[in-house]
A = this chain, B = another copy of it.
Amino acid sequence: MKLLVINPNISEDVTSLIRAEAERSAGPATELVVETAPYGVEYIETRLESLIAAGAVAEVIAAHAGTVDGVVVAAFGDPGMPALKELVDVPVIGITEAALCAAALQGHRFSIIAISDRITAWYRECVEGFGLAGRLASIRSIKEALGGIGTVQEDFGPTLVALAKQAVEEDGADVIILAGAPLAGLAREVSHQIPVPVVDGIGSGIRMAEAVVGLASGTHRDGAFAAPPLKRRAGLSPALDLALTLTQNPSSATPEGGK
């Protein structure tokens, strides 16, 4: 299967981290296409930055519509979810929701370890939106300013492990989620230092996408994720406009709906 993996941030060095962990995680029959957001911010910390990123991710998905079997949105906080699931007829999965499932299947309560204090409100609302806030033990975060977004693992490795241990000891976490694409791959390295299962967002995203794509559950031809009634639209990018047309009328490739 062919998976599109999108870094919703503009930082290429985080894309490299994502690509590396995605390749380590993917099965032998999985082909990966890794893309970086064409516009936006260096790394998302707020609802507004997430909203901007969601628009950028929509463009990337639209540009690949019809050519991939599934999409992984590779920023914790799941920018654009669940809206982006409506855009194409293949599974679109965020790494947060994937990590939440991976954690929920391995314990009861989980904690999220985040790279900045500023980011935690957005994460919390993402977990609430997915419906699993009742199982969230805590969100703990680095309190210091970051050096560079591509070197968070090196700069704060011991801090992140210490936060994870506190979440187990003080907050009752059964599973730890190391959140954020900048931490991609860290779980493999520090798992032995943390006394509960440690879940990596990127790894979860790839494996859960493989699982869901493999299930071949069928498409949304009705209900809240199906195409809405045709209606006039204007000013969208050609790629997005075409993707909407395809979704609304799978048997046609002619854009210009609703006119």
Contacts and interface: CB of A to CB of B under 8 A. Distances in A.
Interface of A: 10-11, 25, 27, 38-43, 45-52, 54-56, 58, 80, 82-87, 91, 93, 97-98, 101-102, 104-109, 116, 118, 120-122, 125, 128-132, 134-135, 145-146, 168-169, 172-175, 187-188, 191-192, 194-200, 203-204, 207-208, 210-212, 214-226, 228-229, 231-236, 240, 257-258
Contacts of A196: 218, 220-223, 225-226
B223 A195 contact: yes
17 contacts: A27-B214, A39-B236, A46-B83, A51-B54, A52-B58, A104-B130, A109-B121, A121-B172, A131-B131, A131-B135, A168-B222, A169-B222, A196-B221, A197-B217, A198-B217, A200-B215, A211-B211
A224 B10 contact: no
Contacts of A128: 134
A45 B233 CA distance: 13
A215 B85 CA distance: 24
How many copies altogether?
A: 6
Given A218-B198, A231-B42, A233-B40, A104 B101 contact: yes
Nearest to A135: B131
B234 A10 contact: yes
Contacts of A228: 45-46, 49, 118
A113 to B, nearest CB: 14
Given A101-B101, A132-B132, A175-B217, A58 B49 contact: no
A91 to B, nearest CB: 6
